[in-house]
Amino acid sequence: MNAAIQDKVNAWLNGNFDQATKDEIKRLQKEKPDELADAFYRNLEFGTGGLRGIMGVGTNRMNKYTVGMATQGYANYLKQCFGDNVKVAIAHDSRNNSRFFAETAANVFAANGIKVFLFEDMRPTPELSFAIRTLGCKGGVVCTASHNPKEYNGYKAYWDDGSQLVPPHDKNVIKEVDKIASVDDVKWNGGEQNISITGKELDEKYMEMVKGLSVFPEIIEKHKDLKIVYTSIHGTGIKMVPQVLDRFGFKNVHIVKEQAVPDGNFPTVAFPNPEESEAMSLGLNLAEQLDADILCGTDPDADRIAIGVKDNHDKWVLMNGNQTAVLAFNYLIEARKTKGIAKENDMVITTIVTTPMIDAIAAANGVNCYRVLTGFKWIAEMIRQKEGKENYIIGGEESFGLMIGDKIRDKDGVSAVALLCEMAAYEKEKGRSLYEKMIDLYVQYGFYKEHLISITKKGMDGQQQIAAMMEGYRKNPPSVINGSQVVMLMDYEKQVKKNLQSGGEWKLDLPKSNVLQFVTDDMTVISARPSGTEPKIKFYFSVNTTLDKAEDFEKVNKKLDEKIKAVIADMKL
């Protein structure tokens, strides 16, 4: 162990840390020195979204002390911006220690003279966003690691409009957090009178808000027996989703019982991520047994959603995030037009790595479509910019997230489940399955197919390996991919769009972000993006062609699959 790491370990052994923490450090010294080194080799970074990491002792772990120091820095910044009259809301999910971290944050805020609304029990992340706006808070925190494995937890920080932090506040909060050099700089207690417990009243307002998003309640009434299977994957969705579906009018909802009990150990899954077929397998089995109309699943904090449907061979399949987004965007655009409530200034928002099919649907329907950086805080920022000028109806991205309506400013799996079930009823009324609807959209707007590869680089040098990979692509971009010329390079870090054939350059009017995109002359799009929360780099692939008739779907689908495989092979990934 090098001297710098040893100094940090000694500081914790000799500082104002509880005895259980010191005992665990001593145990790791004897039994797992490598693990101890990883726990102290750096400080857990308070990034632009907050904290996320493995739970345990050490400066590079989620624990009482890293959470407390982060909260002190955030409290200092809130008071700088808003003076002494500051309110915050705090929520948490079903993960191990989430309640403890939420109470820790509440105590630190309260000790700093900040009024705290702490949820009585676990709640979906989107309800935290709604609470900030409803209660007039200046900020908020939710303790969750979203869909990460069970050993992780996290801390997401929010601003006064209910969105996660964006410039300049994100960087400014980071500066204040970095100033907290010691646990002795934290006000740990003494303001308990500033904490109010909240819950049921906000639940009621939130559910009424979601119910108000319904476009065709009369179709739900006709199809109230639509057979719905839902799994909360041991998370917070169980608190809200069944109640919201009931309020929408759906009376035939089947819960996956094995995953209905909130449990931070996630005993039935390796990863509590609805993107993974393994996490949804129990739901798929139940949907098949019941011959259901739709399967829905949410992640532990209920901000992400996945859906399953029957394909043309009566086999249950999961839709990917891009397909789910396409169906949702199209439904709200189409249904609003059919109902006669569409507005001339309607707009939708998606992200730079999400399927271009959304742009095609929006353009064909005369709806403005804006692309922002990955993350719902950027969708919220665009809503702010367009407020009073354009009418936001839906935003979403490929990572299984949707944000419907502007009453919250983060992705919301609860409202997404309700609207997607309404969409299933709407298509059933027309004698169509959702799978058939997806194919019809391909015929109408073009067949777009996407694929994602995530490469994880673990250990202390993982981030450096990822940085070197990005630098290599930046300095030596490929000129040909799978036999097609690379005609355009978008470097969002340098905010430059280059035509690699003519040499022309344009400024990208988006904030800096470490993302590279390559576009070939056959409109294949490849994006490279390091994760902001994990030692991981993601590659997104999008290809497209025409689909003349629905009967050709499987043949053309196979060709697009082969094309994606060829692109990946050519890039040696």
* CATH for 341: 3.40.120.10
| Cα distance between residue 324 and residue 172, in whole Å | 35
Query: What is the reported pLDDT for 533?
Result: 59
Tell me which of 203, 237, 270 is where a domain ends.
203
Angle at the Cα of 96 (from 452 to 230), degrees rounded to 5? 55
pLDDT value, residue 460: 63
Take residue 526 and report the two structure tokens written for it: 């490849």
* Mean pLDDT across 86-103: 98
pLDDT of residue 153: 97
Answer yes or no: is pLDDT of 420 > 70.
yes
**Is 164 part of any domain?**
yes
Report the Cα–Cα distance between both ends of the chain, in Å, rounded. 34
Q: Is residue 98 part of a domain?
A: yes
Query: In sequence order, which residues have a C-beta less than 8 Å from that of residue 79 and are 6 or more positions away?
Result: 86, 112, 113, 114
Q: How far apart are CA 253 and CA 287, in angstroms?
A: 11
Tens digit of each residue's pLDDT (9 = 90 or more) over 158-214: 999 999 999 999 999 999 999 999 999 999 999 999 999 999 999 999 999 999 999
In a domain, 512, yes or no: yes
pLDDT tens-digit readout, 274-318: 999 999 999 999 999 999 999 999 999 999 999 999 999 999 999
Q: What is the pLDDT of residues 432-468, one digit of tens each?
A: 999 999 999 999 999 999 999 999 987 667 888 898 9
Distances (CA, A) of 517 to 195, 322, 477, 489, 512: 47, 18, 10, 6, 14
One domain, residues 548 and 493: yes
Residue ending a domain, among 147, 175, 203, is 203
Residue 480 sits in the same domain as residue 519: yes
Q: What percent of the chain has pLDDT over 70?
A: 99
In terms of domains, do 566 and 474 share one? yes
61 found inside a domain: yes
Say yes or no: 489 and 374 in one domain. Answer: no
CA-to-CA dists, residue 218 to 249, 425, 485, angstroms:
10, 10, 51
| Sheet strand arrangement including 346-351 | 368-372, 346-351, 391-397, 401-404
Q: Which residue has the tokens 């399927």?
A: 355
- Rounded to 5, what percent of the chain is helix, strand, coil? 40, 25, 35
Lowest mean pLDDT among 73-87, 369-383, 519-533: 519-533
DSSP 3-state assignment of 328? Answer: helix
Based on the fold, state whether residues 77 and 63 are members of the same structural domain.
yes
Does 216 reside within a domain?
no
| DSSP states along 193-234 | GGEEEE-HHHHHHHHHHHHTT-S-HHHHHHTTT--EEEE-TT
- Say whether 475 sits in a helix, a strand or coil: helix
DSSP state of 165: P
Annotated active-site positions, please?
146
pLDDT number for residue 397: 96
Would residue 301 count as lying in a domain? no
Q: Does any domain span residue 220?
A: no
Contact 478, 522 (CB under 8 A): no
Co-location of 99 and 68 in the same domain = yes
CA 193 to the chain's CA centroid: 34
Domain that holds residue 336: 319-411
Cα separation, 167 vs 140, in Å, equals 16
Last residue of a domain, one of 184, 203, 222: 203
How confident is the model at residue 459, as a pLDDT? 66
Task: Kindly state whether residues 391 and 337 are assigned to the same domain.
Answer: yes
Tokens of 392: 């936001």
Q: At 535, is the pLDDT very low, low, confident or very high (cuts 50, 70, 90)?
A: confident
Q: How many domains are there within the chain?
A: 4
Q: How much is the average pLDDT of 492-498?
A: 96
Q: Please check whether residues 74 and 152 belong to one and the same domain.
A: yes
Q: What is the mean pLDDT of residues 144-151?
A: 93
Residue 294, helix vs strand vs coil: strand
CATH of the domain at 464: 3.30.310.50
pLDDT average, residue stretch 483-495: 96
Are 331 and 364 found together in one domain? yes
Confidence label for 26 from pLDDT (cuts 50, 70 and 90): very high
The pLDDT score that the predictor gives to residue 1 is: 77
Q: Looking at the structure, tell me whether residues 53 and 197 fall in a common domain.
A: yes
Maximum separation of any 2 CA atoms in the chain, in Å: 72
**Is the Cβ–Cβ distance between 230 and 242 less than 8 Å?**
yes
Strand intervals (E) in 112-252: 115-119, 139-143, 152-159, 195-198, 228-231
Residues 58 and 193 in one domain: yes
Q: What is the pLDDT of residue 193?
A: 98
At residue 343, the 3 state secondary structure works out as coil
Predicted confidence at residue 501, as pLDDT, reads 87
Whole-number Å distance between alpha carbons of 144 and 135: 21
Average pLDDT score, the chain: 96
Q: Which residue, among 477, 478, 511, has the nearest Cα to 493 in the 3D structure?
A: 511
Please give the radius of gyration of the chain, using alpha carbons only, rounded to the nearest integer.
Answer: 24
Tell whether 73 is covered by a domain: yes
Residues 49 and 173 in one domain: yes
